[in-house]
Copies of this chain bind each other. A is one copy, B any other.
Amino acid sequence: MSHAALPDEMQNIPDLESRGVSQGHPHLRLWLRLLACSNLVEREIRSRLRIEHETTLPRFDLMVQLLYAPTGMSMSELSRHMMVSNGNITAIAVQLEKEGLIRRTQDAADRRSSLLSLTASGRRQIKKMAASHDLWIQNLFNGLSEKSQKNLYTGLGELKGLARSRLPPRA
């Protein structure tokens, strides 16, 4: 008999949450569980992006942003969306441009700024990758009960608002 359907508490697979899980405050337990979930899924996505599409999560993220911004985005916009520094965006953009996946056009109005957008080839690639990505997520999350999906979406919305208001902005 598989233990796939057993509640997590009974599987006893160790992870970060196992530490002090009995001792900790409820808030701490919640955070460790959130972190464990996020790490599990993120690790899988990084791995599949690497193996199946020979790319990385930040590269994927940047291209997805552009996919949903048909008129293009500036480096600073990308920096804000991806919550990393300008310098790091530059590094990724240079790679992608060299590989012919994105292009850079000068903003006529503000000559400091340049707009990034997908090339035809880049658009083809990111669409394929995004489709894969959606499938991975579907296959993982479609086992969640309707109720948990709703509860999580709402609860995480609340948490995100909190984090946004209580944590200092970065990047």
Contact = CB atoms under 8 A, between A and B. Distances in A.
Interface of A: 2-9, 11, 13-20, 23-31, 33-44, 47, 61, 64-65, 67-68, 77, 80-83, 133-134, 137-145, 148-149, 151-168, 170
Query: How many identical subunits does the complex contain?
Result: 2
Contacts of A154: 148, 151
Contacts of A61: 16, 19
Contact of A144 (B2, B143, B158, B167): B158
B165 A4 contact: yes
Query: Which of A24, A31, A83 gathers most chain B CB within 10 Å?
Result: A31
6 contacts: A15-B81, A31-B137, A33-B160, A35-B41, A43-B83, A148-B158
A163 B138 contact: no
A28 B137 contact: yes
A137 B40 contact: no
A20 B60 CA distance: 14
A149 to B, nearest CB: 6
A43 B30 CA distance: 17
A117 to B, nearest CB: 15
